[in-house]
Amino acid sequence: MTRSAPRKIVSASQAVSSIMPGSTVASAGVIGWVTPDSVLGALGQRYRQTQSPRDLTFYFPCGTGDAMGIKGMDHVAQEGLMKRIVSGSYINPVDPKTGKRPELMRLIRENKIEAYSWPIGASMHWLREVARKSPGYITRVGLGTYADPRHGGGKFTARAQDDLIRIISIDEEELLYYPTWPVDVAILRASSADEHGNLSWEDEPLLTANIALALAAKASGGKVIAQVRRVVGNADRTATQVRLPGVYVDEVVVDPDMMMTTDVPYEPAYFSGHRVDISTLKAPPFSTDRIIANRIAPEVRKHELGIFGFGAATDVPLVMAEQGLFENGQLADYPGTTEHGAYGGIVMPGWQFSANLNPDAILDGVTQFDAIDGGLCPFTALSFAEFDAQGIVNVSKFGSANPGAGGFIDIAQNAERLIFAGTFTTGGLRCDVVDGRLVILAEGKVKKFVQKATSITYRAQEGVVQRGQNAMIITERAVFRIAPDGLELMEIAPGIDLQKDVLDLMDFAPVRIANPLPLMDGAHFIPLEAQTRKQANA
C-alpha cells in the first residue's frame, strides 16, 4: 500500500511561524503583480505581536508591493524585524488614503536599517548563482555606476557597511562580483497548487524570479512557502503547465481573494485568458507626459524589439494605438516588452506597468535579463531624473527618493538605441497648450540638467563613445542628441523661448545648438481628438 504525500496547505500565520531570527527571507513581486501579500502580511503581524523573529535580512529582486492596498515589503518594514534589505528597486508613492510615504522609505531616510540597492538584472541572476552553489555572480553590467564599490557599492544608508559588491579582475578585465550567501526562506506567489505543492502560474501575467527564488532556498537547505489563489486536483493540469515541482515547495497558503495587482482584482487579458479590443483602450490624457510620448512614438521602428521603462515612456504604446498604428494586425510589427518578461500586446502605464495587455509570451525574470544583457532588446525608452555635464543619467537616488535602478542599468548598457524621457524640470511644473504652442504656467522648482548627478545610474555619453550607442533625451519642450562630446539641442517646442525656458534652466550649456533650430512637430501638441475635429471641419 502506497502512502500519499502529506498535504502542504497551511495558514499564512502557520507558514511564517518557523522563520528564525537572523534568517535571510527572499520574496518576489513587481509592484502589485505576483506579490505574496498575505504571507508577507502574516510575517509582519507576527513580529508586531511577538517581537519575533528579529534581525532578518530581506532580499527582494524587485520592488514588491505598492505600499498601499498591496503593501508587500512595507509589511515587514519594521525596526527590529528588518535588519537589512537588498532590493532591485524601491517604491515611494503617497498613499491617497493616509497621505503618507511608505514606511520602508522612512526607515531608509532615517538610517534605521541597512539598505542596499542592486540592479534588477544582478538581483535576478544572483539567485541562480545561489541555486547552483556558486561563490558569486560576475558581470560587466553596472561598472562605473552607483553599484560599483568605487561609487557607493549600492549602499543606500550609512548603516550599510558591508561590501556586498566587489571589483575583481579576470584576464585583466575589471568586473563586478556579487558574493552569494544562503537564502533561508523563499516566499512565492503562484496561481494554483495541488496538495503536493506543484505550482502553476496560469492566470498570473508575470513569473518574475519565483522559480529562481525557490531553487536558491532549497539549495541553501531552506524553506519555500507559496501563496496561491486556489488548490486544484493532481490531474487537473497538464505537466507542461506546472512550472515548479512540488518537491521544491514546503508549504502552500491559499488566498482566493488576492488582488491581481493595484486596482485590478482580476483581468484575464493580462495573461491572454481573453483578449481585449485594443481600439477600446483609453488613450493617455493630454499632459506633458503625453507630449513626450507623442514625440517618442515616431522613433519606434517596425520589427525592432522595444523595451519600455516606467514613466512617460510607458504611454507610447497607447499613443501609437490611438494613432491607428496597430490596426489590421500591425501590432505584431511593433514588438514590445518590459524588463519583467511579457512580450507582445500593449505595454501598460502607471500601476499596471510591467504586465502587458494581450501578451503573446511571458518569460521568467531571470531569462528576461539574459535576453536584455545579451543585447536582444535593441531599442529602449527610459525615464530620467537627472542628466549632468559629464553625460551621466540618474534615476536611482534624488531628493528624498531612493528608488534604485530597477532594470535601467541592464537595459541602457545593452541597447543600441536609447531614449531618455521626462519633463525638463520637476517639482511643480505646470504647462498648457494654447493654439498649438506650449505655455509654461509654473516652472518646476527642481532642475534636471545639472552640473553633477546625485547618483550614477548610467554613463550615457560613455556608451555613445565606447559602444557606439545612439542616444536621445526627449522632454516636453526640447529634444537633445547625446553626442560623443556632449549634448546637442536638436528641436524646441513651439512657443518656448530658447534662452529663458531652456538654456537658463540648465547648469551646463549644450555643446551645439542646431542652426536653424527646428520646431518639434506641432501635431505632438494637439490631442488626437482635436486633430480629428479640425480635419472634419476642414
Flag whether 263 is in a domain.
no
Flag whether 36 is in a domain.
yes
- Whether residue 352 is found in the same domain as residue 494: yes
Flag whether 3 is in a domain.
no
Per-residue pLDDT at 192 exceeds 80: yes
Provide the pLDDT confidence category of residue 400 given band limits of 50, 70 and 90. confident
Sole residue written with cell 528579529 = 54
Per-residue pLDDT at 5 exceeds 50: no
The CA distance from 438 to 113, in Å, is 45
Flag whether 413 is in a domain.
yes
- Whether residue 206 is found in the same domain as residue 289: no
Cα-based distances in Å from 104 to 71, 85, 250, 395, 398? 10, 10, 29, 19, 16
- Whether residue 378 is found in the same domain as residue 517: yes
- Whether residue 151 is found in the same domain as residue 278: no
pLDDT in tens, 154-185: 999 999 999 999 999 999 999 999 999 999 99
Residue 464: which domain range?
274-530
Give the residues across from 253 on adjacent strands: 10, 227
Flag whether 301 is in a domain.
yes
Alpha helices in 138-281 (DSSP H): 210-219
Q: Of 223, 254, 285, which closes a domain?
A: 254
The CA distance from 370 to 373, in Å, is 5
What pLDDT is recorded for position 6? 56
Instruction: Answer left, alpha or beta for residue 67, where phi above 0 means left and psi between -120 and 50 means alpha.
Output: left
Provide the pLDDT confidence category of residue 533 given band limits of 50, 70 and 90. very low
- Whether residue 245 is found in the same domain as residue 279: no
Give me the mean pLDDT over the 236-257 stretch: 97
- Whether residue 300 is found in the same domain as residue 193: no
The CA distance from 37 to 35, in Å, is 5
Model pTM score? 0.94
Flag whether 516 is in a domain.
yes
- Whether residue 244 is found in the same domain as residue 344: no
If one counts the domains in the chain, the total is: 2
C-alpha cell belonging to residue 404: 534604485
Flag whether 4 is in a domain.
no
Provide the pLDDT confidence category of residue 530 given band limits of 50, 70 and 90. low
CATH code of residue 21: 3.40.1080.10
Per-residue pLDDT at 1 exceeds 80: no
- Whether residue 187 is found in the same domain as residue 303: no
First to last CA, the chain: 84
Per-residue pLDDT at 515 exceeds 80: yes
- Whether residue 122 is found in the same domain as residue 203: yes
- Whether residue 147 is found in the same domain as residue 101: yes
- Whether residue 48 is found in the same domain as residue 176: yes
- State the chain's mean pLDDT as an integer: 94
- Whether residue 238 is found in the same domain as residue 308: no
Flag whether 204 is in a domain.
yes
What pLDDT is recorded for position 311? 83
Catalytic center residues: 339
Strand order in the sheet with 392-394: 449-450, 386-388, 392-394, 458-459
> In this structure, are residues 72 and 40 in contact, taking their beta carbons and an 8 Å threshold?
yes
